[in-house]
Structure 1
Amino acid sequence: MPEEVLFETEQSMDRSEIASYLRTVADKLDAGDEIGLEAGDQHVTLAPPARPTFEVKAERETGSGPDELSVEFEIEWDEGESGAGGDGRLSIE
């Protein structure tokens, strides 16, 4: 299925700055509010349903330079639907 990027930004930040962004998203999810993203001339507002799918992925990318590690948090849902269940209970330590 083709993918349309609605918003994308990438920049180096302190861990505390990243934590602040994640807290804001968590607070909006808790409150059932829309999530607005803005950077430069880009802007998108999303309204996650009550039960979206939450994906956590840790990766190691190898190639021509040093290995790059990443952790990705993804919240996804079908437009116009209320979300789906999951296969197992997530634990983040």
Structure 2
Amino acid sequence: MPEEVLFKSESKQSRADIASYLRTVADKLDAGDSITLTAGDQSVTLDPPTSPTFEVKAEREGPTGRPGELSIEFELEWDEDGGDGGGSGSLEIE
């Protein structure tokens, strides 16, 4: 199925600013509220279900054996028809 990007924002931020964004998302999830993302003239509101799939990925991009770019990705995923995400597993973040 083709992917449609509904919203995208990418900018250099301080660790404290990133933590603030993540706290806001965590607070919205705890409260069962929808999440609105806004940057410039872009805006999208999403309403995650009670149990979406949570994906955490750490990646290194670049040529093998050379320094590259590291990333941590956090993704919430669910069916648009209202079904909760699938999958299971134990995750720890320290």
Kindly state the Cα deviation for residue 66 of structure 1 after the two structures are TM-superposed. 4.3
Separation (CA, whole Å) in 2 of partners of 1:44 and 1:84? 20
The residue that corresponds to 1:83 in the other structure is 84
Aligned to 2:50, the other structure's residue is in SS state: coil
Separation (CA, whole Å) in 1 of partners of 2:87 and 2:3? 23
8 Å contact kept, 1:53–1:85: yes
8 Å contact kept, 1:58–1:72: yes
Query: Between the two proteins, what is the percent identity of the paired residues?
Result: 68
Q: TM-score, normalised by structure 2?
A: 0.92
Aligned to 1:83, the other structure's residue is in SS state: coil
Q: TM-score, normalised by structure 1?
A: 0.93
Separation (CA, whole Å) in 1 of partners of 2:85 and 2:62? 33
Instruction: Please list every run of 5 or more consecutive structure 1 residues that lacks an aligned counterpart in the other structure.
Output: none
More displaced stretch, 46-55 vs 80-89:
80-89
Matches within 5 A, 1:52-67: 52-63=52-63, 66-67=67-68
Aligned to 2:36, the other structure's residue is in SS state: strand
Alpha-carbon displacement from aligned partner over 1:26-85 (angstroms, at most 9, x marks no partner):
00000000000000000000000001000000000014x840000000001011223134
Aligned to 1:69, the other structure's residue is in SS state: strand
Residue identity opposite 1:24 in structure 2:
T
Instruction: Please list every run of 5 or more consecutive structure 2 residues that lacks an aligned counterpart in the other structure.
Output: none
The residue that corresponds to 1:12 in the other structure is 12
